[in-house]
Amino acid sequence: MADQRVSVHGMWSSRAVFIMAAVGSAVGLGNIWKFPYITGEYGGGAFVVVYLLCIALIGIPVMMAEILLGRRGRSSPIGTMQRLAREENASNAWVLLGYGGVVAGFLILSFYSVIAGWALAYVFQAASGGLNGISAEGAEGLFGGLVGSPGQLLLWHSLFMLMTVAVVARGVRHGLERAITILMPALFVMLVIMVGYAYVEGDFARGAAFLFNTDFAKVFQLCTGPAEALDCSFSGEPLLVAMGHAFFTLSLGMGAIMAYGAYVPERASITGATITIAAADTLVALLAGLAIFPIVFASGLEPSSGPGLIFQSLAIAFGGMPGGQWFGTIFFVLLVFAAWSSSISLVEPAVAWLVDTRGWRRGSAALLIGLTAWTLGIGSALSFNLWSGPEYQLFGKTLFDLKDFLASNIMLPLGGLFISLFVAYSAGRHMALDELSIQRQHLFNLWWFVIRYIAPLGIVVVFLNSIGVF
């Protein structure tokens, strides 16, 4: 029955286009902005190892499950869960998975758009020569000036949200296919150039050592208090953040990949596509790390300096590089595109739902969702200036940090947990066998074992560990 289903939003013209679109969703600010800054905050190599393990043991198997659900249901994530729960005689409560994803999408978009706005602002800085010859202090000052200004942040945030709504309104396929096939490879080439520059001009040995030397004690101890009286204790937080980031960077657990899966042609191999997407995503993150940390160390920045890390270090790199005005402009334009193709996928599940089940027009749906996320985003923008003080914080986190923490580290892994439980226990082996059509039985058995036991248990263990159960 699933064979005859077609999505009302049209289909990707080929498996390669689906891979490109999924890579477009996965590769974004998560890889280039967030991965380096959280790796810096959590001390480097050991954090990277845990993150890579999470990608391999949880991310890849869950992505296969999420795509196969999407293709089977051929609807919005909410519609898909409704349909599949009915077909598999499972509880209708599974539809909550779809609604949870829509909420997570709003939360993420409401801070994602603000950070993408920073990238937009840096396009203009770079193009106008504002980064030329900039010193470390100058780069800090420039970044501080941007995030300290509510007006500027709101302006760029609004512009980016408009760009997102404009593409989603036209339909993901029309808006995305052509742009992505050119811009993603271009971003990759730019990153390789940046790594080359970091190799020649930065402290490459120290940067690479920071990224790849694994000192587990350093990462899993959380130290607080002044330097002379540091209070260190074992903490599960880095583990939770590494797992959350594996979900965030692969766009998993909230229905984005499920929505894209709904447009995948029937005969395309899900396994091969998943591995390609995860490999490309991981490669981009590691390249970004290799481009950034050598510059961070060479110019005396702090790896743990937070969300501004790449904006400060890259400004210094472009400022000192011959032709840096051009390279910088091109780089930030590509970063904006990478963020754009990700934010589009954040909106798609909710838009597809309004269109599929409520009969809305794509344009109106995109507008409503963009407007809601934009409003929520005001709080994220103000977190860096007017609302940065302790009186506006909850659990020591600003609104921006709180939304990121809740969505990335709690909601996405929870979504992933329920996806694996539905596929492995509620729907059962026949559906997975049918959709994955893996030729080699032992490969299917391996995935089946991981999705039944390893992935769900892994997620639960990390959750329990983070609240101190063990």
Distances (CA, A) of 365 to 54, 73, 352, 376: 34, 21, 8, 17
CB hemisphere CA count around 247 (13 angstroms): 33
In sequence order, the 6+-apart residues with CB closer than 8 A to the CB of 456 are 417, 420, 421, 424
Q: Which residue is nearest to ligand PFF (CB)?
A: 30
Q: DSSP alpha helices (H): ranges in 229-269?
A: 237-249, 256-261
Select the residue interacting with ligand PFF from 68, 85, 208, 346 (CB under 6 A). Answer: 346
Smallest distance, Å, CB 375 to ligand PFF? Answer: 20
Smallest distance, Å, CB 168 to ligand PFF? Answer: 13
By CB under 6 A, the count of residues binding ligand PFF is 15
In sequence order, the 6+-apart residues with CB closer than 8 A to the CB of 79 are 73, 98, 352, 353, 356, 357
Q: How many residues does the chain have?
A: 470
Task: Give dist(CA 112, CA 346) in Å, integer.
Answer: 10
Q: Contacts with ligand PFF in 17-46 (CB under 6 A)?
A: 25-26, 28-31
Interaction of residue 256 with ligand PFF, rule CB under 6 A: yes
Smallest distance, Å, CB 424 to ligand PFF? Answer: 22
Q: Contacts with ligand PFF in 75-114 (CB under 6 A)?
A: 108
Among 146-154, 250-258, 264-272, 350-358, the segment contacting ligand PFF (CB under 6 A): 250-258
Following CA atoms 245, 305, 115, 54 in sequence, which dihedral angle do they give, to the nearest 10 degrees? -10
Q: Contacts with ligand PFF in 55-74 (CB under 6 A)?
A: none
Interaction of residue 373 with ligand PFF, rule CB under 6 A: no
Task: Give dist(CA 334, CA 210) in Å, integer.
Answer: 26
Which one, 94 or 337, has the nearer CB to ligand PFF?
337
Token pair listed for 167: 């593409």
Smallest distance, Å, CB 280 to ligand PFF? Answer: 12
Which one, 22 or 84, has the nearer CB to ligand PFF?
22
Task: Give dist(CA 247, CA 254) in Å, integer.
Answer: 9
Smallest distance, Å, CB 457 to ligand PFF? Answer: 23
Select the residue interacting with ligand PFF from 125, 299, 342, 409 (CB under 6 A). Answer: 342
Select the residue interacting with ligand PFF from 248, 260, 331, 422 (CB under 6 A). Answer: 248
Interaction of residue 345 with ligand PFF, rule CB under 6 A: yes
Closest CA to 8 of 382, 263, 323: 263
Binding site for ligand PFF (CB under 6 A): 25-26, 28-31, 108, 248-249, 251, 254, 256, 342, 345-346
